[in-house]
Amino acid sequence: MGLTKSYGEKVVVDDLSFEVNPGTFTGFIGPNGAGKSTTMRMLLGLDHPDAGTATISGLPYPDLKDPMREVGVLIEAKAFHATRTARNHLRMLAAAGDISRARIDEVLEMVGLASEADRSPAGYSLGMAQRFGLALALLGDPGILILDEPTNGLDPEGIAWMRDLLRSLADDGRCVFVSSHLLSELAQVADDVVVIGQGHLIAAGSVADFVAESQHNRVKVKSPQIDQLKHLLVGLGASVSVDEEGALEVRGADAEAIGQLAFRSGIELHELASVAASLEEAFLEATADSTEYRSKAGNDPTSSPEGTP
């Protein structure tokens, strides 16, 4: 709630407030440098906010009675001692959470690393390290999972594996909170999204609502009397642009209203179709103003040459 965090003069997280619903799979999405990791560190009591509070089940993380059994965490890929074996790393954490040895073998099985347990995870490939990180998070069989970029460095197969596993964990009734800078990785599996950019909340809610609210929802209209129709639509307060095929793209008026208007004005329509935004489009649009390291030229999604006046 009202989380704020600066490093030096740079405000990384600025008055950020959102809530994650229990038992849902929530994607925490934002471009690189948006403040996702910082937010997660504050949520876990690792970094101290300059202002605001972050709580899990109503308590600051350090006040949880049995944190490892309540919350599973993966925040840093490849944070392992160079020589300590994977099994010993798990033993060390199991001791901190008073977790049985049998559970160590269980989670190693679960992520398919049982045969690699007696060497240091520092020597794992990034994909293996991410799987091992997930084993660490699952050690206490927690009801809540907080994972920072768990798909980072995975190949497509690995991403699919991670996605399916996370979905099934959410289907078991766990609350899964996963960050990614790539919306597409989570779009198919997440129930909700929290989108941030430059430390500000951009959107929070169900994936469907996020798409619905996007201005990329538009109506495509083809007509031989395109100029006349355009004029009328602008008069209605809709914004209109012409795409490369010569079709109108209308925002701010739905297909029904456009059809009615055309009919009453005697304008012939060849095509009238609602076009839903893809999640990726919605995301790009939502974060366009806040992407920190965006190339200035070319692929700027906000300034199409035939943009709205």
Partner 1 sequence: MKRVLRSEWIKFSTVRTNIIVVIAGIVVTLGLAALTAALVKLGPAATSGTALRSVTNPFLLYFLLILGVQSFTQEYRFGTMRVTLTASPRRIDVFLSKLVILGLVGVVTSVVYLAISFPMTMAILHQRGLPTALFSDHQVRQALLGYVTVCALGSALGAAVGALIRSTALAVTLVLVWPLVIEQTLAGLLPKAISKHLPFQTAQAAAQLPTKGFLDHWDGLATFALFTVVFVYVALTRFTRSDA
Q: Which is nearer to partner 1, 76 or 191 (CB)?
A: 76
Tell me: does residue 25 bind partner 1 (CB under 8 A): no
Using CB under 8 A as the binding rule, whether residue 6 contacts partner 1 is answered as no
User: Given the complex with partner 1, which of 3 and 284 has the nearer CB atom?
Assistant: 3
Q: Contacts for 242-249 with beta carbons within 8 Å, 24 or more apart? A: 242/306, 246/222, 247/220, 247/221, 247/222, 247/271, 248/220, 248/221, 248/222, 248/223, 249/218, 249/219, 249/220, 249/221, 249/275
Size of the site for partner 1 (CB under 8 A): 33
Gap between the Cα atoms of 153 and 159, Å rounded = 9
CB of 68 to partner 1, least distance (A): 6
Query: Which of 47, 116, 149, 249 lies at the binding interface for partner 1 (CB under 8 A)?
Result: 47
Stretch binding partner 1 (CB under 8 A), from 59-67, 184-192, 290-298, 301-309: 59-67
- Applying CB under 8 A, the span of 19-27, 40-48, 103-111, 287-295 interacting with partner 1 comes to 40-48
Q: How far apart are CA 54 and CA 66, in angstroms?
A: 17
Task: Tell me whether residue 90 or residue 211 sits nearer to partner 1 (CB atom).
Answer: 90
Residue 84 binds to partner 1 (criterion: CB under 8 A): yes
Q: Show contacts with partner 1 in window 219-258 (CB under 8 A).
A: none
What would the two tokens of residue 6 be?
A: 């600066």
| Of residues 79 and 236, the one with the C-beta less far from partner 1 | 79
Output Rg (C-alpha) for the chain, integer angstroms. Answer: 24
> Which of these ranges, 10-18, 75-83, 206-214, 267-275, lies near partner 1 under the rule CB under 8 A?
75-83
Residue of the chain from 75, 111, 284, 286 that contacts partner 1 (CB under 8 A): 75
Closest CA to 292 of 181, 194, 213: 181
> Which of 91, 103, 222, 294 lies at the binding interface for partner 1 (CB under 8 A)?
91
Q: Which two tokens stand for residue 113?
A: 């690393």
143 interacts with partner 1 by CB under 8 A: no
Q: Which is nearer to partner 1, 35 or 67 (CB)?
A: 67
Tell me the closest approach of the beta carbon of residue 157 to partner 1, in angstroms. 27
Candidate residues 14, 76, 213, 280; the one interacting with partner 1 per rule CB under 8 A: 76
Q: Binder to partner 1 among 1, 51, 96, 236 (CB under 8 A)?
A: 96
Interface ranges with partner 1 (CB under 8 A): 41, 44-48, 61-62, 64, 67-68, 71, 73, 75-76, 78-85, 88, 91-93, 95-98, 122, 136
